[in-house]
A = this chain, B = another copy of it.
Amino acid sequence: MKIKKELLETFENSYPKRDYLIIHQADEFTSLCPKTGQPDFGKITISYIAGRKCVELKSLKFYLQSYRNDGIFYEKVTNQILDDLISVLKPKWMEIKGVFTVRGGIFSTIIATHGKK
């Protein structure tokens, strides 16, 4: 798969001793259904308590856009984003929430977490 976590850039956390919460909500996520090739749409919310590094916002946008033409299941998308961000940021705590639009009359939400809050 051509998704590349190398797209993610970071900057140094200026307040490493204070456990504050950072939340980024991307409302325009889209990928493809691996079975039918039909487009999927969703909202991805990334919440974390930074360790030494924070994710740079523009690079996060490009990273999420890189899924646009990949065929990938909802469960996989959410866990993949979590794995990639953990490996790049080493956060103290992180949660990825994917809310995907209706398919066959059914909404789906996936929530995956790393570490303790």
Contacts and interface: CB of A to CB of B under 8 A. Distances in A.
Interface of A: 13-15, 18-28, 30, 38-39, 41, 54, 57-58, 60-61, 65, 68-69, 75-76, 78-79, 101-113
A104 B15 contact: no
Contacts of A78: 20
- How many copies the complex holds: the figure is 10
A52 to B, nearest CB: 13
A14 B76 contact: yes
Given A15-B75, A79-B18, A25 B107 contact: yes
Nearest to A27: B105
A24 B106 CA distance: 6
Nearest to A15: B79
A43 to B, nearest CB: 10
